[in-house]
Amino acid sequence: MSNAHTFKWDVTRYAATKSMIDAGEANLQTLASATGVNMRQEPNGSSHTLKGYATVDGTHAILNAYVKFYKVTSKSGKRKDVRVNIQTNGFRFRQHAMAQSSTKFVFKYVPSDDAA
């Protein structure tokens, strides 16, 4: 698993409630390194989903987690943002994050060529 790529988010209650989790510049660089996808150059409405494993607040281990990066335009139409949607199997991440002031989500992605 030496080729695992790590993504990290501090998800606020507000971001979880509004489903507006910012991708974060470091995570976008990791995405580009891991997959070759540069979300900043993708057209509006495009998305890219990764499957991996994760931890929540350093205590909850999740074997099947999905992170979907997607590009949106701000309501004013002046700014293009990249957001993420976090899905977990067997753990209600959004409900957990909405009950905390901030939740640490650490996601590990291993490219399929390296998973074997």
Question: Residue 23 has what pLDDT?
Answer: 96
Strand partners, 69: 48, 84
Question: Residue 55 has what pLDDT?
Answer: 94
Q: What is the DSSP string of the chain?
A: -TT-EEEEEEEEHHHHHHT-EE--HHHHHHHHHHHS--GGGSPTT-EEEEEEEEEETTTEEEEEEEEEEEEEE-TTSS-EEEEEEEEESSS-HHHHHHTSSEEEEEEEE--HHHH-
Instruction: State which residues form the domain around 54.
Output: 5-115
Question: Residue 69 has what pLDDT?
Answer: 97
Closest to 102 in 3D by CA, of 19, 26, 9: 9
Question: Residue 115 has what pLDDT?
Answer: 46
| 116/108 Cα distance (integer angstroms) | 15
Please give the tally of structural domains in the chain.
Answer: 1
3-state SS string for 95-112: HHHHCCCEEEEEEEECCH
Question: Residue 77 has what pLDDT?
Answer: 72
The residue type at 72: V
10-residue mean pLDDT series, the chain (116 residues): 87 93 96 95 93 93 94 79 92 93 96 62
Q: Are 40 and 28 in contact (CB under 8 A)?
A: yes
